[in-house]
Amino acid sequence: MFENSKLMMTNYLLERGLDVESLRRKVISNNISNVDVPHFKRSEVNFESELKRAIMDRKEKENRLPALMTDERHIPFFIPRDIMAVRPRINLDYNTTSRNDGNNVDVEKEMVDAAKNLMRYNAFTNNLNHNFRMLKLAMRTV
């Protein structure tokens, strides 16, 4: 009954967001712990832009003209990305160097990122708890 609803898609995205924020916290912690290591390059997690591309692909699918494919071996013009298939990526920042030893970790930036990460994690948790309470309420009244 609820399996294909928008509520369950929202819950899936919130759960995925919690996973990403947990991974992001590990990456930030790794960056901070290696602040004094020469030639260490900081990492960052890229998820939101990939998710945005998948959502835009989904919306663009409705506006696309269908292509005539006369053979199964033809390559389709447009293959939309599945939101469920979006995974976070860890990217190394090779382009910047903020110190003479080649390390590019800025502790102040990492601490700000850690604070943002904590706020997003708490927001996702609160929203997910709210959705579960609403689901529980709906199941109780049925």
Summarize pLDDT for 28-63 with one digit per residue, the tens: 999 999 999 998 999 999 998 888 888 787 666 666
Report in angstroms the alpha-carbon separations of 124 from 3, 15, 16, 117.
Answer: 20, 8, 10, 11
Domain layout of the chain by residue ranges: 6-47+87-141
* pLDDT tens by residue, 86-100: 899 999 988 887 778
Rounded to whole angstroms, the maximal C-alpha distance in the chain is: 66
Of how many residues is the chain composed? 142
Whether the pLDDT of residue 71 is over 90: the answer is no
pTM across the whole model: 0.80
The answer to which of 60-64, 70-74, 79-83, 94-98 has the lowest mean pLDDT is: 60-64
